[in-house]
Amino acid sequence: METPIVKVENLSHRYTVQWAIREINLEISGNGIQGLLGSNGAGKSTLMNIMCGVLKQTGGSVYINGIDTRIDPVGAKRFIGFLPQKPPLHTDLTVEEYLGYAAFLRRVPTAKVNAAVDKAIEKCGITHFRKRLIRNLSGGYQQRVGIAQAIIHEPLLVVLDEPTNGLDPNQTLEIRHLIKEIAAEHAVILSTHILSEVQATCDYICMLEQGSIVFAGTVEEFDNYIAPNTLLVTLADAPPVADLAALEGVVGVEELGANRFRLKFTDARDVVDRVVKASVARDWHLMEIGVEKNSLDAIFAELSKKANHRA
């Protein structure tokens, strides 16, 4: 049986009397992007800091490539690359000098440091800036340098804490593309509280609220977590709203303009059949009909509510 890259068992931590995380179980076995989603204060940073060996947990275990981080923290860290929310950059060094220093800290053999720096610089698209002082780089390129230090030693696991925070839209798109490239060769954990970030970047989601996991699965499963209960309908010869509201199974109608309507229903299959039949019988000329997916914000709110009830 293949050893998981990350295995978290019954992980808990508290600061004085308050629990930051409780009974967290998580396993990552292959490459790809695992989104760690949650509102501010949900426990994301605590979980990441423990996984990366920055913080010692109150209880439970973390295994990185089969190594218990409590028993052999240095051995476990060989397989981890970490980019905190504020990149640990030495801005008075050039990009090349800083990454050489990062390689030294990560115990890259001296004979391989130059090759490791060249590879990380090329991977992160900062070749033209290798001789430039880090303080003279834009925020987006400083973030690239931060990611380069996280992969300089070619770890199995790369942990990124809010990697697009504070970047403009163009920089955000570039960093997302870079993260996807890195995920082809590494397992990536991406922490964020931004729903669109998850949808655009991640393969899987683990959502924390009140220090507990309230959802774990694919982005598609997350997107379909709440059963949809509305239809979007377009009718070329639209009837009065009252006629649509009178259809059996329709419990509400919202007029959207341009002959489009949102119908709230109790059973999708029955309502679709009735709308189609009524359109044919009454010459409404149905042009479009489809079940409307829930927004990520609605799902996030529902899962957060679930966590609050549990607490």
| Tens of pLDDT, residues 7-38 | 999 999 999 888 999 999 999 999 999 999 88
Report the number of distinct structural domains present in the chain: 2
User: Using an 8 Å Cβ cutoff, are 271 and 265 in contact?
Assistant: yes
Contact (CB, 8 A) for 144 and 125:
yes
Residue 213: pLDDT over 80: yes
- Does 250 lie in the same domain as 209? no
Do 159 and 257 lie in one domain? The reply is: no
The parent domain of residue 37 ranges over 6-223
User: Nearest 5°: CA angle at 110, between 106 and 111?
Assistant: 130
198, 243: one domain: no
Return contacts of 199-204, CB within 8 angstroms, 24+ apart: 199/223, 199/296, 200/176, 201/33, 201/35, 201/176, 202/33, 202/34, 202/35, 203/32, 203/33, 203/34, 204/32, 204/33, 204/34, 204/35
Of 63-67, 194-198, 227-231, 288-292, the poorest mean pLDDT is in 227-231
Domain assignment present for 305:
no
- 226 pLDDT band, cuts 50/70/90, is low
Tens of pLDDT, residue by residue over 68-114, are: 999 999 999 999 999 998 889 999 999 999 999 999 999 999 999 99
297 falls within a domain? no
309 inside domain: no
Q: Are residues 205 and 70 in the same domain?
A: yes
* Reported pTM: 0.76
Q: Are 236 and 261 in contact (CB under 8 A)?
A: no
For residue 254, what is the domain's CATH number? 3.30.70
Q: Has residue 56 got a pLDDT over 60?
A: yes
- Based on the domain organization, do 239 and 204 belong to the same domain? no
Instruction: Show the tokens assigned to 257.
Output: 């303009």
Q: Are residues 180 and 236 in the same domain?
A: no
Query: Predicted confidence band at 1 (pLDDT cuts at 50, 70, 90)?
Result: low
Decide if 151 contacts 123 (C-beta within 8 A): yes
110 with 211, same domain?
yes
Assess whether 186 and 117 both reside in one domain: yes
* Judgement on whether residues 152 and 183 belong to the same structural domain of the protein: yes
The CATH code of the domain that includes 160 is 3.40.50.300
Give 106's Cβ-side CA count (13 Å radius). 25
What token pair was written down for 46? 């605590």
Residues 53 and 192 in one domain: yes
Q: Do both 167 and 281 map to the same domain?
A: no
Residue 307 lies in a domain: no
Residues 6+ apart with CB under 8 A from 240: none
Same domain? 127 vs 11 = yes
Dihedrals phi, psi of 202, to nearest 5 degrees: -90, 155
